[in-house]
């Protein structure tokens, strides 16, 4: 570390950060990154184990009371949440003609309504404190589309409207709301894709590879930083160039 970097990191103000679904995948990498930066990190999660230094409360994004209980427990332990990363998400891929109402609504309930439940609850204290960073984890598929992903794509596209409406509504209170749109990242979600499909996607990505969760975490850390205070309502791709121009 250079002297300048040391000075910068020692000047870091420790904030209370909530990352939903930090037990695995992208959420885990994001939580680890905030812990390494010296923040107080919490998660509302359903199962599994957590990275060292993360305060966890069991909860389910599809249940408003459970989300609200999770927030209350985190606030009791660490204080008001200043940074929210709505990361928990699911896929339930199916061709349009075969997609049931349940396939559609269950994905919306976690990915979109779950994010809404968290944003609504977090905004209360962010408004009071006149400071907040809201980061919604969308997907390249939200704007690019994906065959067999009408439910997932719709849920992820809607997060853009959410971030922009939040920005217009409470952007004057020191609060930003942004969307991170990862492309294909090496997690359980992409491991579930057949090998042939993975190769097909890789050949369409200018970077020629899938990314690691830590590469998404780096973008999240920046957009949640004090330095990014004038960026709001933005969609930041972390996709190796896959979605350029959409
Ligand atoms: P994983 O499938 O590895 O992890 C999903 C996380 O969400 C898990 O922690 C899971 O908990 C949690 N979760 C799911 N449903 C709920 C629920 N009802 N309540 C609470 N937590 C829940 O996914 P990734 O890490 O790959 O994805 C993280 C986010 O990034 C998602 O929003 C995804 O859509 C998005 N994304 C991922 C991409 C990729 O290529 N991997 C690309 C673009 C976007 P549990 O372990 O208990 O199931």
Domain ranges of the chain: 3-238
pLDDT of 210 over the 70 cut: yes
* Residue 51 near residue 35 (C-beta atoms within 8 A): yes
Q: From 21, 59, 61, give the residue whose CB has the most ligand 1 atoms within 8 Å, as the site to mutate.
A: 21
Average pLDDT of the chain, as a whole number: 95
CA 203–ligand 1 middle distance (angstroms): 24
Q: Which residue in 45, 144, 152, 230 is the catalytic one?
A: 152
Number of H helices, E strands in the chain: 10, 7
Q: What is the pLDDT of residues 140-151, one digit of tens each?
A: 999 999 999 999
- Those residues whose C-beta lies under 8 Å from the C-beta of residue 58, and which sit 6 or more positions away, are 44, 45, 46, 70
pLDDT value, residue 1 = 46
- 111 CA closest ligand 1 atom index: 32
Which residue's alpha carbon is nearest to atom 10 within ligand 1?
21
Residue 245: pLDDT band with limits 50, 70, 90: confident
pLDDT of 232 over the 60 cut: yes
CA 4–ligand 1 middle distance (angstroms): 36
CA 54–ligand 1 middle distance (angstroms): 17
DSSP H/E element including 10: helix 3-10
CA 123–ligand 1 middle distance (angstroms): 22
Token pair listed for 160: 């853009």
Q: Is 192 in the pocket of ligand 1 (CB under 6 A)?
A: no
Backbone angles phi and psi of 23, in degrees to 5: -80, -25
pTM: 0.96
Q: What is the pLDDT of residues 38-89, one digit of tens each?
A: 999 999 999 999 999 999 999 999 999 999 999 999 999 999 999 999 999 9
Query: Region 208-226: what's the mean pLDDT?
Result: 98
Q: Please give the C-alpha separations between residue 213 and each of 4, 171, 207, in angstroms, as whole numbers.
A: 27, 29, 15
DSSP string covering 149-191 = -HHHHHHHHHHHHHHHHHHHHHGGGTEEEEEEEE-SBSSHHHH
The larger pLDDT score, comparing residue 38 to residue 2, is at 38
- 88 CA closest ligand 1 atom index: 7
Q: Is 152 a catalytic residue?
A: yes
pLDDT of 9 over the 80 cut: no
Q: Is the ipTM of this complex over 0.90?
A: yes
Highest mean pLDDT: which of 9-23, 124-138, 179-193? 124-138
CATH 3.40.50.720 holds for 3-238: yes
Query: Region 202-225: what's the mean pLDDT?
Result: 97
Q: Is 152 in the pocket of ligand 1 (CB under 6 A)?
A: no
Q: Is 23 in the pocket of ligand 1 (CB under 6 A)?
A: yes
* Residue 16 near residue 82 (C-beta atoms within 8 A): yes
DSSP bridge pairs for 57: 44
């Amino acid at each position: 570390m250079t002297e300048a970097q040391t000075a910068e990191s020692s000047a870091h103000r420790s904030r209370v950060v909530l990352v939903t679904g930090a037990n695995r995948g992208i959420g885990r990498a994001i939580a680890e990154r905030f812990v390494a930066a010296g923040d107080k990190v919490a998660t509302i999660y359903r199962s599994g184990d957590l990275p060292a230094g993360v305060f966890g409360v069991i909860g389910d994004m599809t249940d408003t009371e459970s989300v609200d209980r999770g927030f209350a427990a985190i606030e009791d332990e660490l204080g008001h949440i200043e940074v929210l990363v709505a990361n928990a998400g699911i896929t339930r891929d199916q061709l349009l003609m075969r997609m049931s109402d349940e396939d559609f609504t269950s994905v919306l309930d976690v990915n979109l309504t779950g994010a809404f439940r968290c944003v609504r609850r977090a905004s209360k204290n962010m408004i009071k404190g006149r400071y907040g960073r809201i980061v919604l984890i969308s997907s390249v598929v939200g704007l690019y589309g994906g065959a067999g992903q009408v439910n997932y794509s719709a849920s992820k596209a809607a997060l853009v409207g959410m971030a922009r409406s939040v920005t217009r509504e409470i952007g004057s209170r020191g609060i930003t709301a942004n969307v991170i749109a990862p492309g294909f990242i090496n997690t359980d979600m992409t491991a579930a894709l057949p090998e042939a499909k993975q190769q097909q996607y890789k050949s369409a990505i200018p970077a020629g590879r899938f990314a690691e969760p830590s590469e998404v975490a780096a973008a999240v850390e920046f957009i949640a930083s004090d330095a990014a205070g004038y960026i709001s309502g933005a969609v930041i791709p972390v996709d190796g160039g896959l979605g350029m121009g959409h």
